[in-house]
Amino acid sequence: MPLDWTPLKELVASCDSFVLTSHMRPDCDAIGSEIGLALALETLGKRVRIVNGDTTPPHIAFIDPQTKVETLGQGVTPEEVHQADAHIVLDTSAWGQLGPMADVLRESGAKKLVIDHHLSGDDLGGAVIKDTTAEAVGRLVAEAIDALGVELTTEMAKPLFAAIATDTGWFRFSSVTAATYETVARLVEAGANPAETFSTLFDRNTIERVWLQGRVLQSIRTELDGRVAFGHATAEDFAETGAAPADTEDVVNRLLSISGVEVAVLLTWMPEDGKTKASLRSRSDFDVREVAEVFGGGGHAKAAGVRIPGPIPEAKAALLAELVSRMA
Ligand SMILES: [Mn+2]
C-alpha cells in the first residue's frame, strides 16, 4: 500500500526552514536519505541544513560531494537547530540513536516529522511516516520526492542509490522486492552509477587488511560436525601483516559463508587488556546473544560480541563448551 505523504506535504506547505538529522554512526541510508530529501526541499525554495550528532565516516563521505552534512558542536549550535521551523528525523525513531541531537530536538518547539523503516522506536513527538517493510529509507525518500512533485536529479539519485544498495546488502536481502528494482531503475536513469558506487564502497582495502584476512581464513576450523566455524587473529598475525584490529571487520561473515555452518566465531587477541575478543554470528534461529551474555557480553540474536579474559585457546574452549551444551 502506498504511504500517505500528507504529513510531509503539510510540513513543506507551512515551513520555510528545515533541519534534517539521523542516527549516530551514520551509514549510507542515513546520509543518502538526508541529502536526497535536502536537495528536493531546496528545489522547492526551502532553507535546509543537515545536522547529525556524529561525523560522517570517511569511507562514505563520497556520497556527500558538496559537504552538506554538518555535525552538531562543530560549527553548528543547538540554537541554530532550534531556529528551523521543522525537524525531520530519518532512518531512526529512537531517542537513544540520536546521540547529542536527542536533547536538542527534545528542547525544541519546532514541528517534527519522522521518516523511518525500523520496527522499534520511541514517540519523538511528531508525525511519523513509517514503513517497516521498506528495504531502505532511501526508497521512501525517492517516493517522497515524487509526492512533493520534485524532479529527480543526478545529485539526488546518487546518494539514494547508495542508501538502497547498502541497506539491502547490494540487493540480496529478503527485504528486496520488485519495487526495489523499479526505484533503482529510476535512480540509474537519473544518473546513479552502480559499478562506480560499488567500487568506491568496497574496493578500498589496504594490502595489510587483505593479508590479515588471508591468515584468518587459513585459521578456520569447524566443530560440532561443521555447524560451528572458529577463526582467529593472533598477535603474530597483526605484527607480521601490519594490519590493525579494525581490519578484522567483516571477516566473520566469511566464516558464515561456509556450507553447513550455522554459527561463526572470530577470536581476536587484544594485547592491551589481556583479553580475547569474540565476534559471534548466526544464520539460523540459534541466538548467539545468549552465549555472549554468559560471558558478560551482548548484542543481537544474529550478531553478538564479548571479551573473555585470557588467550585465544582458552576463550575458544570456553565458548565451544557453551555452544556444545546449547546446540548438541
Ligand atoms: Mn536504513
Interval 101-115: pLDDT, tens: 999 999 999 999 999
Pairing between β-strand 86-90 and β-strand 17-21 as defined by DSSP bridges: parallel
Q: How confident is the model at residue 78 (pLDDT cuts 50, 70, 90)?
A: very high
Q: Give the whole-angstrom CA distance, residue 69 versus residue 36.
A: 12
- 163 CA distance to ligand 1 middle (Å): 7
pLDDT mean over 249-278:
93
Dump pLDDT digits (tens) for 176-189.
999 999 999 999 99
Ligand 1 mean position, distance from CA 37 (Å): 14
Q: How is residue 239 written as a grid cell?
A: 605484527
Q: Report the predicted TM-score, pTM, of the whole model to 2 decimal places.
A: 0.85
pLDDT of residue 250: 83
Dig out the grid coordinates for 293 from the structure.
Answer: 551474555
pLDDT mean over 58-77: 96
> How many A from CA of 130 to the centre of ligand 1?
12
User: What is the whole-number distance in angstroms between the Cα of residue 149 and the centre of ligand 1?
Assistant: 24
As a whole number, mean pLDDT of residues 212-233 equals 97
Expressed in angstroms and rounded, the spacing between residue 160 Cα and the centre of ligand 1 is: 11
Same fold across 6-202 and 207-327: no
CA of 115 relative to ligand 1 center, distance in Å: 10
Length of the chain: 328
CA of 83 from ligand 1 middle (Å) equals: 27
Does 291 have pLDDT greater than 80?
yes
Q: Where are the domains of the chain?
A: 6-202, 207-327
Q: Is 146 helix (H, G, I), strand (E, B) or coil?
A: helix
pLDDT digits (tens, 9 = 90+) for 34-47: 999 999 999 999 99
Which region among 92-106, 244-258, 282-296, 305-319 has the lowest average model confidence (pLDDT)? 244-258
207-327: CATH, from 3.40.50.2000, 3.10.310.30, 3.40.50.150, 3.10.640.10: 3.10.310.30
| Over residues 244-262, mean pLDDT | 91
CA distance 132 to 130: 6
Q: Collect all residues with Cβ–Cβ distance below 8 Å to 211 and sequence separation of at least 6.
A: 241, 242, 243
Residue 129 has pLDDT above 90, yes or no: yes
**What is the percent of the chain where pLDDT is above 90?**
91
Q: What is the reported pLDDT for 153?
A: 98
Q: Kindly indicate the confidence band of residue 1, based on its pLDDT and cuts at 50, 70 and 90.
A: low
Q: Which CATH superfamily is domain 6-202 in?
A: inorganic pyrophosphatase (n-terminal core) (3.90.1640.10)
Q: What is the mean pLDDT of residues 312-327?
A: 97
pLDDT at position 256 is 93
pLDDT of residue 313: 97
How is residue 288 written as a grid cell? 548467539
